[in-house]
Amino acid sequence: DQQVKQNSPSLSVQEGRISILNCDYTNSMFDYFLWYKKYPAEGPTFLISISSIKDKNEDGRFTVFLNKSAKHLSLHIVPSQPGDSAVYFCAAFGGAGNMLTFGGGTRLMVKP
Amino acid sequence: ETGVTQTPRHLVMGMTNKKSLKCEQHLGHNAMYWYKQSAKKPLELMFVYNFKEQTENNSVPSRFSPECPNSSHLFLHLHTLQPEDSALYLCASSPEGTEANYGYTFGSGTRLTVV
């Protein structure tokens, strides 16, 4: 059973607009959440994270929002740029074994 | 370059072959991981090593055999694989105790094709 789910396998956005990537989780023991970005033929790279004691974390064009009651988090990218085109993985930390658990990823395509 | 180096980048092997994947990090991390990424599936954790000791084996078939001779090196030995084992194999490392603030640092992966 997937504890971290990204229900949208792909998302297409126009350059300059906002990209919103969503992630849902089921394990209430998760206490830290991360977003990774992955280009083809490369490993995932860390993008931004948020602790469960916060509901928002911002870093430049990237903002992550956490809604604990809904067990939902989202990554906002604004303004979106063509170089943002990649696969974005949501990951959650905590629970049994204290391991990172990944979602299935969302492929973002930013059109010029 | 992330600081985690994986070799080879690409590997094609027959089902009767024996090969090894190598991962190396010089970030001072003490935990190392093998992940498998198949098409249209989430990243799957395979093995975890903390201070050279295996602490997690996520029900991985015995045709995959990990080895961690020291905290900087991690191997994945492969033998009698199946075509469905074709995937991207990612190595990652993290500081001791998996300090969540820093997340995991991933290598670029080995793209494995079993024919």
Of A41, A97, A104, nearest to B108 by CB-CB distance is A41
How does pLDDT run across A28-77, given as a tens digit for each residue?
988 889 999 998 878 888 899 999 999 999 999 999 999 999 999 999 99
In sequence order, the 6+-apart residues with CB closer than 8 A to the CB of A60 are: none
B45 touches chain A (CB under 8 A): yes
Contact B33, B91 (CB under 8 A): yes
List Cα–Cα distances, B62 to A81, B38, B54, B58, B75, in angstroms: 44, 18, 15, 11, 14
Task: Give the angle subtended at the CA of A63 by the CAs of B2 and A4, to the nearest 5°.
Answer: 75
Residues of A in contact with B106 (CB under 8 A): 36, 43-45
> Can you tell me the distance from the alpha carbon of A23 to that of B63, in angstroms, rounded to the nearest whole number?
33
Average pLDDT over chain B, rounded to an integer: 87
B106 neighbors A43 (Cβ within 8 angstroms): yes
Q: Min CA distance, B51 vs chain A (Å)? A: 16
pLDDT, tens digit, for every residue of B2-15?
799 999 999 999 98
B10 part of contact set with chain A, CB < 8 Å: no
What is the mean predicted confidence (pLDDT) over A10-28?
Answer: 96
Give CA–CA dist B37/B6, Å, rounded.
Answer: 15
| CA neighbor of B17 nearest in space, from B79, B108, B76, B69 | B79
